[in-house]
Amino acid sequence: MADAALNAPAHHDTPAPTDAVRRHDPEARGFASDNYAGVHPEILSAIALANGGHQIAYGGDDYTAHLQEVFRSHFGPRAEAFPVFNGTGANVVSLQALLPRWGAVVAAESAHINVDECGAPEKMAGIKLLTVPTPDGKLTPELIDRQAWGWGDEHRAQPLAVSITQTTELGTCYTAEEVAAICAHAHEHGMLVHMDGSRLANAAATLGRPLREFTTDAGVDVLSFGGTKNGLLFGEAVVVLNPERVRDLPYLRKMSMQLASKMRFVSVQFEALLSGDLWLRSAAHANAMAKRLEAAVRAVDGVEVVRPVQANAVFALLPREVSERLQKQYRFYFWDEHTGEVRWMTAFDTTEADIDAFAAAIAEEMSRS
């Protein structure tokens, strides 16, 4: 048997049969999260392209080497990308790269790092979060100043960084000018700026401006760049935009368990996403579907759209019993259990028919209320 194994061909032209069984309806759609969507076919093709043969592990492969050129084409010649597994990992690694052990980061109270990461920045990285309530999820220089004080006071965690989310958790979008004002204000105080860009492509589609214009050129120091919400199988990237101030990423990534051994399969996804217009095409489509949903539900008596629809999220108020009945047909979440506010998300694979069917279901359930 050992000799047979040694003499086996290096690869097979015909894939071996699989015992896997499809266990879901591929036509089913929901509105809970853009993470629910599958993988874009162009991304799947890229992963298959990178398969076969051996490549150096842990980022020494040809795909990761070329990826640096791809990211620099969008973020400038000094940008350096570090692929990681997920968004929480990207945020934790980024913030660690900005702060000493006694450092703190100012963030919106609604920020993902504060609400949805199970305390990872504080528990895993030892970073104090100094949060500020915001009406629309967006920080301003004035709001930052509510927590940006106490430098030199050994009794207080030192506010040395600001973290903003683009687009925000409330579906709003910072303009390039707003980002620049925040960065200038933070830098004046000796603070660095992190951007959680899990939906950065959606922001670019909304703003109609290049990625660099509201990141690198606006003064952002380090970026968590999102891929999973825009059609990737898995993977995000930490993008260092200010290498003079952001250091030690290779060590922090490994220490934080975010270094992929077969990194070529993460990197090739970003190459497929960013080398052409797939990133913008997919995000623009998701945004357009959210606008279509907003227009449809505004025509339904009793449904109130309660936040600006600036990307691929629609926040609405409707009777709780209606939402609960709808959830038996479509997946979506309550955003605020107290008020009954719900969030509906669209994705790259949401179709006009999906939107129209969901809007019709909303109208029908409202007529029964």
What is residue 43's predicted lDDT score, i.e. its pLDDT?
98
Q: What is the CA radius of gyration of the chain?
A: 22
Q: What is the three-class DSSP state of 118?
A: coil
Residue 87, beta-bridge partner list: none
* pLDDT of 253 over the 90 cut: yes
Q: Which of these CATH numbers, 1.10.10.10, 2.40.50.140, 3.90.1150.10, 3.40.50.720, describes 279-368?
A: 3.90.1150.10
Among 24-38, 171-185, 198-212, name the one with the lowest average pLDDT: 24-38
Domain with CATH 3.90.1150.10 in the chain: 279-368
**φ/ψ (deg, to 5) at 82:** -125, 100
CB–CB of 83/270 below 8 Å?
yes
Q: What is the three-class DSSP state of 95?
A: helix
What is residue 321's predicted lDDT score, i.e. its pLDDT?
97
Four-CA torsion 96, 98, 103, 109, nearest 10 degrees: -80
CA 232 to each of CA 41, 76, 80: distance values in angstroms, whole numbers, following the listed order: 10, 23, 20
Structure tokens at 101: 């052990």
Tens digits of per-residue pLDDT, 289-345?
999 999 999 999 999 999 999 999 999 999 999 999 999 999 999 999 999 999 999
* pLDDT of 1 over the 50 cut: no
Domain with CATH 3.40.640.10 in the chain: 41-276
What is residue 309's predicted lDDT score, i.e. its pLDDT?
98
**φ/ψ (deg, to 5) at 222:** -145, 145
Return all residues near 4 (Cβ < 8 A) that are at least 6 apart. none
Q: Is the model more confident about 21 or about 3? A: 21
Average pLDDT, the chain: 95
CB–CB of 197/229 below 8 Å?
no
CB–CB of 240/80 below 8 Å?
yes
Residue 117 per-residue DSSP state: S
d(CA 32, CA 335): 10
Tens digits of per-residue pLDDT, 69-127?
999 999 999 999 999 999 999 999 999 999 999 999 999 999 999 999 999 999 999 99
CA 323 to chain centre: 26
Residue 265 pLDDT grade (very low, low, confident, very high; cuts 50, 70, 90)? very high
Q: What percent of the chain is modeled with pLDDT above 90?
A: 93
Q: What is the three-class DSSP state of 55?
A: coil
Mean pLDDT of 165-175: 98
CA 129 to chain centre: 20
Structure tokens at 148: 């940006």
- Please name the fold of domain 41-276: Aspartate Aminotransferase; domain 2 (3.40.640)
Residue 3, beta-bridge partner list: none
d(CA 200, CA 131): 22
* pLDDT of 359 over the 70 cut: yes
